[in-house]
């Protein structure tokens, strides 16, 4: 077996960061050589995350302040950025210059257009020159480009659950141009680990609520990728996310109209053609509802579909772990691709 790749995690105090550490601490081909966090500098990993105590380097590795040169000196070949939107870009630049590959979990490099970025994120893009180079890294869609990339933009959690069922259907030309409607439900890790009264246990446990209606930021990357898949200027889509009282897991239900002549059998064919050889996409079949409890803690996305003959509408149903396949699992899946590891390495724990 070849030597493991040396990796660093920049900004690991949140839920995606912790999930990334969880996966990397036990990855058979990766060695975690540095973890940074301005606020936690000097603290051992397992002091911050008592769950990791006694596992791998969790007791011996301490957080350091983030500094590109230090990461290079620690031997890191790949840096994962688990930072807030707008912050990632400034860390990516020096790391790339020093020759590291960068796998970014934020939204900073997901859009091709700096104009669209500014519209949805409210400020000018800090490194527009990198947008063309970055790869919007859905491994099942863009595997070749990922293998060759040095700057990886991991898709958002909602977008992953929405795009994977829709892209094969749009590529196959099965959907009409009527607006698509998407209702997603996410566990609370999706809202982040921050001091916030609306995210308290007592505010969430008895609550189901939509939010960011009608313009969640993820609409921008969803629209970009759907248009690319459809070969059209635009694919109209309405997206309503909901917060539900679970730790993790996204359940997405999508309503779309088939083109005249297209059938649910065509849907089945297109999905199987796209995903039968993909280890992390599990196609459940017609009228089969996926369940978040079967995917949380994993890198799987489960997909079912149904046709409502009365109303003439297609229903797509997908579940994934928002911090797994929707974030950190997918980031590790991308690392496996970049490094030529077994695609499932470190990702089959259930």
Looking only at residues 55 through 74 of this chain, which bind a copy of itself when binding is defined by CB under 8 A? 55-56
Q: Which of 52, 109, 117, 120 binds a copy of itself (CB under 8 A)?
A: 52
Other Cβ atoms closer than 10 A to 108: 27
C-beta contacts of 176-179 below 8 A and 24+ residues apart: 176/256, 176/257, 176/258, 176/259, 176/260, 177/232, 177/236, 178/236, 178/256, 178/257, 179/236, 179/237, 179/238
The interface region with a copy of itself, picked from 67-75, 89-97, 148-156, 180-188 by CB under 8 A, is: 180-188
**Active site amino acids:** 157
**Binder to a copy of itself among 74, 116, 228, 315 (CB under 8 A)?**
315
Give yes or no for residue 77 binding a copy of itself (CB under 8 A). no
Stretch of 30-38, 131-139, 251-259, 331-339 lying at the interface with a copy of itself (CB under 8 A):
251-259
* Residues touching a copy of itself, count (CB under 8 A): 89
User: Binding of a copy of itself at residue 232 (CB under 8 A)?
Assistant: no
349 is a contact residue toward a copy of itself (CB under 8 A): yes
Integer Cα distance of 167 and 171 in angstroms: 6
* Residues pairing with 238 in the sheet: 181
User: Which residue in 104, 140, 302, 320 binds a copy of itself (CB under 8 A)?
Assistant: 302
Tell the residue number behind the tokens 């009264």, with chain if given: 197
Is residue 312 at the binding interface for a copy of itself, with CB under 8 A as the rule?
yes
Binds a copy of itself (CB under 8 A): choice among 103, 251, 270, 332: 251
Cis peptide preceding 288, ω within 30 of 0: no
Return the exposure string of 125-154: e unless at least 16 CB atoms fall within 10 Å of the residue's CB, then b.
bbbeebbeebbbbbbbbbeeebeebbbbbb
Residues with Cβ within 8 Å of residue 176, at least 6 apart in sequence? 256, 257, 258, 259, 260
Decide if residue 197 touches a copy of itself (CB under 8 A).
yes
Nearer of residues 141 and 303 to a copy of itself, judged by Cβ: 303
Residue selected from 83, 306, 335, 339 as contacting a copy of itself according to rule CB under 8 A: 306
- Check if the beta carbon of residue 223 is closer than 8 Å to that of residue 158: no
CB neighbour list of residue 202: distance below 8 Å, 6 or more residues apart: none
Task: Tell me the closest approach of the beta carbon of residue 123 to a copy of itself, in angstroms.
Answer: 21
Taking the complex as a whole, the smallest distance from the CB of residue 90 to a copy of itself amounts, in Å, to 25
Paired sense of beta strands 78-81 and 5-10, if any: parallel
Asked if residue 218 binds a copy of itself (CB under 8 A), the reply is: no
Q: Contact between 31 and a copy of itself (CB under 8 A)?
A: no
Tokens read off for 33: 């050589």
Write the interaction track for a copy of itself spanning residues 257-296; mark x where CB under 8 A is met and - where it is not: x---------------------xx-x-x--x-xxxxxxxx
**Interface with a copy of itself, residue 188, by CB under 8 A:** yes
Site residues (CB under 8 A) for a copy of itself, limited to 100-159: none
Q: Which of 206, 231, 260, 276 binds a copy of itself (CB under 8 A)?
A: 206
Residue 27, judged by CB atoms within 10 A of its CB (0-12, 13-18, 19+), counts as: buried
| Residue with smaller CB distance to a copy of itself, 15 or 109 | 15
Task: Pick from 205, 232, 272, 340 the residue near a copy of itself by CB under 8 A.
Answer: 205
CA 55, chain centre distance (Å):
25
245 is a contact residue toward a copy of itself (CB under 8 A) = yes
Task: Look at the alpha carbons of 189, 190, 195, 198 in this order and tell me if their dihedral is positive or negative.
Answer: negative
């Amino acid at each position: 077996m070849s030597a493991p790749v040396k990796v660093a995690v920049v900004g690991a105090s949140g839920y995606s960061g912790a999930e990334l550490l969880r996966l990397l601490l036990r990855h058979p081909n990766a060695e975690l050589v540095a973890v940074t966090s301005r606020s936690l500098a000097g603290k051992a990993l397992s002091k911050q995350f008592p769950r990791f105590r006694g596992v791998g380097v969790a007791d011996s590795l301490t957080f350091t302040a983030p500094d590109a040169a230090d990461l290079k000196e620690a031997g890191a070949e790949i840096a994962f950025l688990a930072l807030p939107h707008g912050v990632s870009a400034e860390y990516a630049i020096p790391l790339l210059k020093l020759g590291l590959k960068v796998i970014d979990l934020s939204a900073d490099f997901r859009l091709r257009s700096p104009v669209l970025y500014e519209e949805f994120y409210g400020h000018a893009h800090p490194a527009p020159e990198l947008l063309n180079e970055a790869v919007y890294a859905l491994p099942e869609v863009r595997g070749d480009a990922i293998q060759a990339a040095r700057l990886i933009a991991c898709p958002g959690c909602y977008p992953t659950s929405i795009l994977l069922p829709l892209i094969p259907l749009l590529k196959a030309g099965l959907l009409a141009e009527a607006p698509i409607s998407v209702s997603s439900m996410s566990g609370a890790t999706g809202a982040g680990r921050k001091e916030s009264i609306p995210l308290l246990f007592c505010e969430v446990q008895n609550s189901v609520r939509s939010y960011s209606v009608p313009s969640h930021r993820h609409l921008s990357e969803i629209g970009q990728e759907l248009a690319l898949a459809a070969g059209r200027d635009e694919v109209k889509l309405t997206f309503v996310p909901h917060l539900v009282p679970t730790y993790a897991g996204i359940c997405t239900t999508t309503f779309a109209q088939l083109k005249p002549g297209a059938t649910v059998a065509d849907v089945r064919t297109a999905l199987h053609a796209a995903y039968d050889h993909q280890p992390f996409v599990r196609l459940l079949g017609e009228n089969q509802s996926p369940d978040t409890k079967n995917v949380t803690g994993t890198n799987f996305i489960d997909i079912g579909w149904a046709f409502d003959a009365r109303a003439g509408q297609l229903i797509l149903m997908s579940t994934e772990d928002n911090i797994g396949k929707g974030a950190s699992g997918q980031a590790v899946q991308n690392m496996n691709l970049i490094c030529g590891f077994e695609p499932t390495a470190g990702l089959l724990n259930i």
